[in-house]
Amino acid sequence: MTEWYHEDEVCWVADCEVCDVPMVVWREHGPTPPDEAVEHMVARLTEVADWRFGEGKWSLDRVMRQIPDHFHAHARDPDWWYRRFSR
Ligand SMILES: [Zn+2]
């Protein structure tokens, strides 16, 4: 079951099934949301990641490997890679 954290008119935040870390995904399609949408999404992701990993214990990953043409960002803690292969 994928954990679902947040949903609003701009974006949703849920666990990435591949990485097992929270990920924010823009509702609209495209690689470059307006600045205020990016700010909004990073803020929502920050709330979730701070709650799950602790403040300052994760980093924002905006590299769009999985869906290159659709804006999304991961919150990665230092152990995510290890966890991915130990499941
Ligand atoms: Zn992922």
* Cα of 36 from ligand 1 centre, angstroms: 23
Length of the chain: 87
- Please tell me the total count of domains within the chain: 1
C-alpha 34 – ligand 1 centre gap (Å): 22
pLDDT of residue 84: 82
Residues with Cβ within 8 Å of 26's Cβ and at least 6 positions away in sequence, in order, are 10, 11, 33, 37, 41, 70, 71, 72
pLDDT tens, position by position, 11-28: 999 999 889 999 999 999
Expressed in angstroms and rounded, the spacing between residue 35 Cα and the centre of ligand 1 is: 22
14 CA from centroid of ligand 1 (Å): 10
Could you list the residue range(s) of the whole structural domain that residue 66 is in? 4-86
Task: Name the pTM for this structure.
Answer: 0.90
For the stretch 57-67, pLDDT in tens is 999 999 988 77
Residue 39 CA, chain-centre distance (Å), reads: 13
CA of 76 to the centre of ligand 1 (A): 9
